[in-house]
Structures are given as structure tokens and as C-alpha cells.
Amino acid sequence: MMVNQADPGLVEALADATERALREAETRLPPDVLAALRRAAAAETNGIARQELGNILENIALAGERGLPICQDTGVPVVYLSLPPEIPFSPALFEGVREGVRRATAAIPLRPNAVDPITRQNTGDNTGAGMPPIHVVPGERFTVTVLPKGAGSENVSRIGMLLPSQAAGIPEFVAETMLIAGGRPCPPVILGVGIGGTFDAAAALAKEALLLPADTMDKYEQELCDAVNALGIGPMGLGGDVTALAVKVKRAACHTASLPVAVNVQCWASRRASVEVRL
Ligand code: SF4
């Protein structure tokens, strides 16, 4: 079915899907993140850290039961749209998502976090120039994926333009990012690491890595995670074995003279949800 670009039904369907995705993401953590948190709580040897992980798990359970946001910082919505061939790329896609963000902000409700970067004037509905960021990718199904991103963890994210000879130093760069961050990003964190591409592509890869399952890691990701956990920062920075639940890596080819590495820090409230758009 080819959809008419002017079809108001498309805007409405996308607004509805975006609102549903945000409600799900803000009130219930994905099962893989929950599993990683439970595993961390079971493995933690530090008593205070174990207690803190217990508080976090209780907070998550209460939010789910009551349909309330998991954290007071409901973040800014980062949106990924998956478009099958029959859905044309059109301005209606952007309008639908923005309308869904406005509705979610009023209905859930979400904290209005979006401001002008210089005047700091708040738009009141979590939209604004370039907000929400919307990434469009081809796919088999028409879906909207939301990743609400809190400021505490986003603010300590970091990018480095390393030398090509510094590939072996990537674990140190990743661990150093958390050493600088300390307890500020509400650990235990999940780190999205983008390696390669260009300056901007590495940051985009790091964000996309946060969409990957948090309860599995390959050998390299485990090596990075071990380097971070050796810091002993622990849950909420109070000390402990678990500083990172997971490190997830996405790579891209890069210039022979470059090695961009971006670390997007995500807090324990690693919120994301995908919803199919019903047309
Ligand atoms: S960093 Fe995460 S858990 Fe901490 S206040 Fe921000 S959104 Fe909430």
C-alpha cells in the first residue's frame, strides 16, 4: 500500500505510536536492562551497593505498577523511525513524531526539558528546533523507537579523535570517561561506544549502541566493561563491584589517518521502547 503524503491518517498514526512508545519507555525498563540490573544485584559483594541496587529495582517496580515515570528527569526523546519501502519519506513523518511527543508530555506527563540553548527559554512541550532528533532508517516494518535521554548521563559523554596507533588504548579511554564522570551519571551505567566513522558518525554510533541488548556482550565489549568496573565507582557512586552493567560497541570504517571514539554514557534508567505504527 503506497501512503499518500498528505494523508492526515499518517500523522495521527505516528503521533499515536510515538505517544505509546514514550509511555512504555518512561514507565517500564526493557527486559534486558532489568535482567542486567537483577544480575548485578545478585553478584554485588559490597553491602551498600547491594542495598542501592535494591532501591533502584524497587523504584522500577513501583513505577511500573503505578504507570509513573521511572525517573524525575524524563529526558529528551531521541527517535528512530524504521520505514518499509511503501512508506515515503515526507515531512508528515516529522510532524507525526513531534505531535506524539507533545501529547506524551501532557498526558504521561513528562518534564518539559527542551530549551533554547542560549536563551534557555523552555518550549514547554519537549519539542523545538531539531528536537526531538529523528533518525530515519530503512526497515521491513513501520516502527517508531524512542530512547529518552537524561542529562546526568548525557553530560558526561565524551568523544576523542585518537591516533590510528592508539587502538589498544580504547579501553583506557572508555574507563577514563567513567573516571571523570564518577557518580554523576547515576551508575550502574550502560556505555554505548562508537568506534570509527567520522567525528559526528562516531557519536551517532555510540547512541545507536544503546539500543542493543544490555544483557549480552562479546569478548571486546566485556574487556571494556571489565576496565570500567575495575574503577570501583559502584551504584550511584557509593563504591562497589558494578559500575557498568554493560558496554555495547558499534563500529564503522574510518579514514586511515583517524580513529574517532565516542562514549555515550547511559544511566541505569536505560529507557527505550519500539512500537509498530498502525495505519
Ligand atoms: S542520569 Fe538517569 S537516573 Fe540519573 S537523574 Fe538523569 S535520567 Fe534519572
For the chain, the residue count is 279
Residue closest to 193 by CA, chosen among 261, 271, 269: 261
pLDDT, average across residues 154-177: 98
Top mutation candidate among 153, 245, 268, 270 for ligand 1, by most atoms within 8 Å of CB: 153
- Report the alpha-carbon distance of residue 187 to residue 197 in Å, rounded: 28
Kindly tell me if the per-residue pLDDT of 4 is higher than 90: no
- Nearest ligand 1 atom to the CA of 151 is 6
Residue spans of the domains in the chain: they are 8-28+70-149, 152-266
Q: CB under 6 Å to ligand 1: residues? A: 71, 73, 75, 150, 152-153, 185-186, 267, 269
- Taking residue 246's Cβ as centre, other Cβ atoms within 10 Å add up to 28
Q: How many CA atoms lie within 13 A of 200 on its CB side?
A: 0
Interval 63-122: pLDDT, tens: 999 999 999 999 999 999 999 999 999 999 999 999 999 999 999 999 999 999 999 999
Kindly tell me if the per-residue pLDDT of 206 is higher than 80: yes
DSSP string, 57-87: HHHHHHHHHHT--SSS---EEEEEEEE-TTS
pLDDT value of position 7: 81
pLDDT value of position 6: 60
Kindly tell me if the per-residue pLDDT of 170 is higher than 60: yes
Cβ contacts of residue 3 below 8 Å, gap of 6+?
Answer: 10, 86, 87, 88, 279
pLDDT value of position 8: 87
More confident of the two residues 10 and 5: 10
- Nearest ligand 1 atom to the CA of 71 is 8
Distance separating the N- and C-terminal Cα atoms of the chain: 10
User: DSSP E strands: which ranges in 84-188?
Assistant: 134-138, 143-149, 158-162
pLDDT, average across residues 178-196: 98
Tell how far the Cα of 132 is from the centroid of ligand 1, in angstroms: 18
Tell how far the Cα of 168 is from the centroid of ligand 1, in angstroms: 31
Tell how far the Cα of 165 is from the centroid of ligand 1, in angstroms: 35
Instruction: Please confirm whether the linkage preceding 185 is cis (ω < 30° from 0).
Output: no
- Report the alpha-carbon distance of residue 111 to residue 149 in Å, rounded: 12
pLDDT value of position 2: 52
Tell how far the Cα of 187 is from the centroid of ligand 1, in angstroms: 9
Do 27 and 267 touch, CB atoms closer than 8 A? Answer: no
pLDDT value of position 213: 97
Tell how far the Cα of 270 is from the centroid of ligand 1, in angstroms: 9
Tell how far the Cα of 22 is from the centroid of ligand 1, in angstroms: 16
Residue whose Cα lies nearest atom 4 of ligand 1: it is: 186
Kindly tell me if the per-residue pLDDT of 233 is higher than 70: yes
Strands 259-266 and 134-138: unpaired
pLDDT, average across residues 39-65: 97
Q: Which helix (H) or strand (E) holds 185?
A: none
* Tally: H helices and E strands in the chain: 8, 8
Top mutation candidate among 73, 110, 190 for ligand 1, by most atoms within 8 Å of CB: 73
